[in-house]
Amino acid sequence: MQDLVNRFEELRQRITELMEHLDWGKKQSKLSKLKKESEGESFWQDNKNAQQVMKEISDIQSEMDLWYGLSNRVNDFMDLASSGDESFRDELEQEAAKMEGDLDRLEITTLLSGPYDKGNALLSINSGAGGTDAQDWAAMLLRMYLRWAENRGYKIETIHQTEGEEAGIKSATILIEGPYAYGYLRAEKGVHRLVRLSPFDAAHRRHTSFVQVEVLPEVAAEDPTIDLNPDDLVIDIYKSSGAGGQNVQKNATAIRITHKPTGIVVSCQNERSQLQNRENAMKVLRGRLYELKLVEQEENLSKLRGEYQKAEWGSQIRSYVLHPYQLVKDHRTEYEKGNTQAVLDGDLDEFIEAYLKNR
């Protein structure tokens, strides 16, 4: 049983090191401070601030409970392994394997420390160069991300979708709700390139298609990071376009919002309710304004370091080659996988983890 004792000891050491990396003492101190603040007599007089504080308390407490729970499990099973009773070997080996998997996943979350990394994500897909092939490729990518989200148990809501003329989609925006959805999906932002024999070419020649993937955080309306002045918005209401028949809205429910200071335009026509479409469009607008802030900060820092390069359409982050060979390769990390069908079915975790570790 000494081999299992050593295995649990390694797990305990990894947990200790990761908790030190997370600056656990600082987290505990902050939690105590926030709890004390929440007990004050005037705490709920500022409802907006109170809700933000309570959310912080909940987030920190949940994170600590998760780590302490895993640590306690390791200690309990280590004691059992130390007893030397071989009748527990099978159970202990199963538990050790499960805890190693749990710790691997938790270790990845330590790389997600951005202000919105723990929250939901707005994922937009826009077909680019390649005509009908690109629109079909956009639909393939949408399916890939839906499968990935479903496999993780995330909730999915379609915000906006525009169909292609012959096949596929021109664009789509979906809201993916679940823990760390934005933190993980940030790895997917960029141009995705497909090489294959075109099913839309009568000569069946090889075509290259490009699709732009945009990933934004879901920024709450009351978030102080984004200050939206209603006077800066131009809101247009129009009838939804569709495939015809019952799919076309007879009433004007689609929403287009233009943010005058930045020129950002967002639209939503998926819901039958004008109010819901407006709310969803505002979600996307807040996310894009936050992303714009990040881009400006990164550009300024990079220019100071002398390393800034403008991102162009052709600078793809990942290539999916279906002909003349099968390969998906991420050009940022050099991670690659030969099972293209598995990737297109949503098997993206290894690409995401490689990106996070590399970053």
Of 109, 130, 149, the residue at which a domain comes to its end is: 109
Q: Is residue 325 part of a domain?
A: yes
Of 75, 109, 143, the residue at which a domain comes to its end is: 109
- Over residues 218-226, mean pLDDT: 80
pLDDT at 178 over 70: yes
pLDDT of 149 = 97
Q: Is residue 288 part of a domain?
A: yes
- Over residues 332-338, mean pLDDT: 96
Indicate the burial class of 173 (C-beta count within 10 angstroms; 0-12, 13-18, 19 or more): buried
Q: Is residue 158 part of a domain?
A: yes
DSSP string, 264-308: EEEEE--SS-HHHHHHHHHHHHHHHHHHHHHHHHHHHHHHHHT--
Query: Which CATH number covers residue 266?
Result: 3.30.160.20
Q: Note whether 54 and 186 are same-domain residues.
A: no
Q: Is residue 224 part of a domain?
A: no
Q: Note whether 197 and 323 are same-domain residues.
A: yes
- Residues 6+ away with beta carbon under 8 Å from 21: 110
Q: Is residue 311 part of a domain?
A: no
Q: What total number of domains does the chain contain? A: 3
DSSP 8-state class, residue 156: E
Q: Compute CA 297 distance to the chain's CA centroid, rounded to the nearest angstrom.
A: 21
Q: Note whether 96 and 19 are same-domain residues.
A: yes
Report which residue type is found at 312: E
pLDDT digits (tens, 9 = 90+) for 225-280: 788 899 999 999 987 665 444 444 456 788 999 999 999 999 888 767 888 899 99
Q: Note whether 290 and 147 are same-domain residues.
A: no
Closest CA relative to residue 254, chosen from 235, 234, 237: 237
Report which residue type is found at 348: L
Of 78, 109, 140, the residue at which a domain comes to its end is: 109
pLDDT at 224 over 90: no
- Residues 6+ away with beta carbon under 8 Å from 209: 127, 128, 129, 130, 133, 134, 136, 137, 193, 194
Q: Note whether 21 and 86 are same-domain residues.
A: yes
Whether the CB-CB separation of 323 and 195 falls below 8 Å is answered with: yes
pLDDT at 73 over 70: yes
Q: Note whether 153 and 273 are same-domain residues.
A: no
* pLDDT above 90: percentage of residues in the chain: 55
Q: Note whether 6 and 101 are same-domain residues.
A: yes
pLDDT of 258 = 95
DSSP 8-state class, residue 324: S
Q: Note whether 131 and 205 are same-domain residues.
A: yes
Indicate the burial class of 23 (C-beta count within 10 angstroms; 0-12, 13-18, 19 or more): exposed
pLDDT at 102 over 90: no
Q: What six digits make up the tokens of 353? A: 């983890």
Whether the CB-CB separation of 240 and 271 falls below 8 Å is answered with: no
Closest CA relative to residue 320, chosen from 343, 351, 346: 343
Q: Note whether 192 and 330 are same-domain residues.
A: yes
- Over residues 200-207, mean pLDDT: 85
Query: Which CATH number covers residue 209?
Result: 3.30.70.1660
Q: Note whether 240 and 208 are same-domain residues.
A: no
Q: Is residue 54 part of a domain?
A: yes
Q: What six digits make up the tokens of 82? A: 């130390």
- Give just the sign of the alpha carbon dihedral 99, 102, 108, 111: negative
Query: Which CATH number covers residue 68?
Result: 1.20.58.410
- Over residues 138-159, mean pLDDT: 95
Q: What six digits make up the tokens of 278? A: 């407006």
Most confident range (mean pLDDT) of 66-70, 273-277, 342-346 is: 342-346
Report which residue type is found at 72: N
Q: Is residue 312 part of a domain?
A: no
Q: Note whether 6 and 104 are same-domain residues.
A: yes
Res. 355 pLDDT band, cuts 50 70 90: very high
Whether the CB-CB separation of 236 and 216 falls below 8 Å is answered with: no
Q: Which domain covers residue 74, as residue numbers? A: 2-109
pLDDT at 297 over 60: yes
Q: Note whether 91 and 187 are same-domain residues.
A: no
Look at 201 and 177; give whichever has higher pLDDT.
177
Report which residue type is found at 210: F
Q: What is the mean pLDDT of the chain?
A: 87
Res. 314 pLDDT band, cuts 50 70 90: low
DSSP string, 28-76: HHHHHHHHHHHTSTTGGGSHHHHHHHHHHHHHHHHHHHHHHHHHHHHHH
Q: What's the pTM value of the predicted model, to 2 decimals?
A: 0.77
Q: Is residue 71 part of a domain?
A: yes
Among the ranges given (13-22, 38-47, 292-301), the one the predictor scored with the smallest mean pLDDT: 292-301
pLDDT of 52 = 82
